[in-house]
Every structure is written in structure tokens, then in C-alpha cells.
Amino acid sequence: MIGGLGPESTLDYYQRIIALYRERMTEGHYPTFVIVNVDLRKGLDFMEANDLSGMADYLLEGIGKLGRAGADFGIISANTPHIVFDEVALKSPIPLISIVEATCAAAKAQNLKRLALSARATRCRRIFIKKFFRGTTLSLSCPTVRTRIICMGNTSANWL
């Protein structure tokens, strides 16, 4: 897992993966798991500078570390970096799972109609709507920073 771009979401993914594994594997073991923590500030700098190729290269550095650590596949545990997911996935040394595509598929399977996106960047929200939600019956609501802070706490204002 590429973590750190949304530290709280990294923790949430980690806890959920452990819990799901333990539900399915009842012998009491834990999964082998690799997290490469990248610098949130550096990610924010790339996004604020609109340096998408820099962001992609930065993610690929982390994903390379996952591959060298023996990971079978990877995820990026934040929404905004998925702006460059296709470019990163093409160059990745290991298969990647898009949390955005997986969320869309799960929402469709549950017959949900309206989702909220907590991605920080306005440009990201526009791209997500165009890329992942066009041609579906899903609608996407993008809460304001104020609403995200109220719902998720002050730290969410700095998530990618």
C-alpha cells in the first residue's frame, strides 16, 4: 500500500484489511503487509503546482519499493493521486488496484445512487466525475472543505 498521502485513510485501510483477513482466515494469523509511506507535503506540492507527471513519478518510486519488498499488488490509499492512476498503472512493476474503480463497482453492486468524494483538489473532482462516473447511474457529491472538516475532523482538510 502507498500510504501517507492521507494518513488517516492509510490507517483505515490497514485496519480494514487486517479485519477482513481475520474474518476469512480463522487460525488467528495476520497477513504479510507492506506499507510505503510517502510524504504528504511533497504530494500536496505536486498537486498545487499542477505537476501531474511529477506526482506520477513520485508514486512510481513508492510502488517500486513495494515491488522490491515482495508485494503481489498495490493500492494508493488516497483519492486525489488517482488523477494519474492510469499513467502510473501502465508503468508500475506490480498490478495496481484503483480504490476509486473498486468503490464505483461496490456502489453499483449495492445499488447506491449518490456518493460523496472527499478529494481535496477541485480539478481532481472534475476529473473523477468525467473519468469514473460518466455513463453510470451514480452521482457524485463533492463536499466543501468546511463540510469535510465537520464530518471527518480538521486533518481532512489536508488530505490528498
Task: Check residue 73 and report its DSSP letter.
Answer: S
pLDDT in tens, the chain (160 residues): 999 887 888 888 899 999 999 999 988 889 988 999 999 889 889 988 989 999 999 999 999 999 999 999 999 988 888 889 999 999 999 999 998 888 888 888 888 887 776 655 555 666 666 676 666 777 777 666 666 666 655 444 444 4
Q: Can you spell out the DSSP letters for 107-156?
A: HHHTT--EEE---S-HHHHHHHIIIIITTSS-EEE---HHHHHHHH-GGG
Q: Are strands 74-75 and 96-97 parallel, antiparallel or unpaired?
A: parallel
Domains and CATH numbers, the chain: 2-158 (3.40.50.1860)
The pTM assigned to this predicted structure is 0.79
Question: Using CA atoms, how far apart are residues 63 and 82, in angstroms rounded to an integer?
Answer: 14
